Chain A
Amino acid sequence: MIYLLCLVLFSLGVYCVLRKRNIIKIIVGIIIIEYAVNLFFILVAYREKGRAPILSSQTPILNMVDPLPQALVLTAIVIGLATTALLAAIAMRIYEKYGTFDITKIRELRG
């Protein structure tokens, strides 16, 4: 059930990428897709009544959540920031050159 809500978020992002004509809106859609995928990984890693994967000297290891997807998501988030910055820089250059964010008009101008 909770996986399905996460998928709904993902498909909202896909809808935005497919349907919108403004470049900034497309970037927003890509960011939403990224969030949904990160959330899905952490959801898969969750264990019922689990503890955060940090050891302590008093209590023994019993029921920790899965640390592996958390580590992978940690790197994926930072990569997501870098790609978002790259997309925004490309969008700003396109705006400087063509004076619009509309992808259909950019295709018509073609320079």
Chain B
Amino acid sequence: MIELYILLIFMIIGAIVAIEVKDLLSSVVAVGAVGLGLSIAFLILKAPDVAITQLVVEILCLIILIRATLKKDLPFSTSGRWFFNSLITAGFLTIFLFMAAEALQQLPKFGQPIMRVASTYLQQGLSETGAANLVSSVILDFRAYDTLGEATVLFTAVIGVLTLVRRIGRKKIGEKVKAEDE
């Protein structure tokens, strides 16, 4: 499992670069590196479907973010209550990490899942759904309502994006306001 540790450390370094670098485009590209590392980590953890989806989604996400940041760089200020804010953030994260490390002791050890629900799926998946790929049988048959809800969320988000980026009908209102101002 040493390769998994190396990948995770790579992802953490990529995240630090993405957070701390001043140029926005470099930051977005660093997030892309983190996402592709995550895709390889999924492959190592024996989740090929998730790895493929992550790869596609990562590239689309990168394109959207680059479109948003293109030619829109701005110098980046850290004035204000710098010390106070940093102190509170550091304190919060310390408490969070400490308590989460305590809580993680209660989980089953890495590599030994409980699988009380999934054992039924593993044994009866083929006879009940006829799908050789058990992940797709869970998505499309055992938990189909979950997928229906996901499609609803996706549709709503797409409508929101279309409403926000649409140019028809927006300029007229702006002109009217301008005319009233004059």
Contacts and interface: CB of A to CB of B under 8 A. Distances in A.
A86 B11 CA distance: 25
A102 B93 contact: no
Contacts of B179: none
A71 B138 contact: yes
5 contacts: A28-B18, A48-B111, A55-B125, A68-B121, A100-B74
The majority secondary structure among interface residues of chain B is helix
B97 interface: yes
A8 B11 CA distance: 10
Interface in B83-105: 85-86, 89, 92-93, 96-97, 100-101, 104
A70 B42 CA distance: 10
A72 B146 contact: yes
Contacts of B150: 75, 78-79
Contact of A5 (B12, B64, B74, B107): B12
Contact of A55 (B18, B24, B132): B132
Interface of B: 1, 4-5, 8-9, 11-12, 15-16, 18-19, 24, 27-28, 31, 34-35, 38, 41-42, 45-50, 53-54, 57, 60-61, 64-65, 67-69, 72, 74, 76-78, 80, 85-86, 89, 92-93, 96-97, 100-101, 104, 107-108, 110-113, 115, 117-118, 121-123, 125-126, 132-135, 138-139, 143, 146-147, 150, 153-154, 157-158, 160-161, 164-165
B49 to A, nearest CB: 6
Contacts of B153: 79, 82
A46 B110 contact: yes
A80 to B, nearest CB: 7
Nearest to A84: B61
A3 B113 CA distance: 14
A19 B86 CA distance: 7
A11 B97 contact: yes
Contacts of B89: 15, 18-19
A31 B76 CA distance: 20
B65 A55 contact: no
B161 A89 contact: yes
A52 B15 contact: no
